[in-house]
Amino acid sequence: MKPPSVRGEYSRHGYEVWMGGRLVYAAGNHVQDSTQPATRKEDRLPLRTIRKFCFKTTREIAVERGGVFAGVERVTEEEP
């Protein structure tokens, strides 16, 4: 049986990790609380930091769950 691929997607709003086409982890862009979206600019993580966290978490989940790291990509952000 082929191990499932694990991939990440990130934007200024946060990031998600997908395994075998299923969402397995999500984090927001708030500096103090990754479960919350930041409503003020000073509370937002920089995009570079979100990207770094996305890479790290995606790799960790791939190892922990026996998947294959398939990379991360930036996704288009929808304007409110």
Provide the 8-state DSSP code for 45.
P
CA 8 remoteness from chain centre = 5
Report the alpha-carbon distance of residue 21 to residue 77 in Å, rounded.
Answer: 20
Stated pTM of the model: 0.91
pLDDT per residue as tens digits for the range 19-64 = 999 999 999 999 999 998 898 999 999 999 999 999 999 999 999 9
**Sequence ranges of the domains in the chain:** 5-74
d(CA 47, CA 31): 12
